[in-house]
A = this chain, B = another copy of it.
Amino acid sequence: MVMEKINLKNKFSDLLEYWSPRVISEMNDYQIKIVKIKGDFIWHNHENTDELFYVIEGKMNIHFHDSTVVLENGDLFVVPRGVDHMPSAETECHVMLIEPKGTKNTGNRDTDLTAENDIWI
């Protein structure tokens, strides 16, 4: 039983690579991850799950085919399952993600940006 609190703001200094989510905690069969992002990711979707984004610091975009959502500090957004999206950030942005254990960062696509899953930090 992990009975340890985690300070999200401090945790980001341990992240070395952009677009590589790392697990910081679990809730039932869900994982809480943090990720540093910068630049454009790739278009993808998660066929079987919604995906929660919460911006800890910075500013990011979630592009959809017909719109863009801009998220800043303290903004929360849930991308619905099956919906194509492309995250991006002009400058470094710190994000918390929550999604079921086993969710792949590139969803329905395999690319150089597909990160190894279930790595804790």
Q: Which residues of A contact B (CB under 8 A)?
A: 1-10, 24-28, 30, 32, 49-52, 54, 56, 64, 67, 69-71, 73-78, 80-81, 83, 98-100
A51: which of B27, B73, B99 is its contact (CB, 8 Å)? B27
Query: A76 touching B24 by the CB < 8 A rule?
Result: yes
Contact A6 B77 (CB under 8 A): yes
Q: Interface on chain A toward B: helix, strand, loop, or mixed SS?
A: strand
Chain B minimum-CB-distance residue to A70: B5
Please tell me if the beta carbons of A5 and B98 are within 8 angstroms of each other in the complex. no
Check if A74 sits within 8 Å of B27, measured CB to CB.
no
A28:B8 contact, CB within 8 angstroms = no
Contact call B32/A52, Cβ cutoff below 8 A = yes
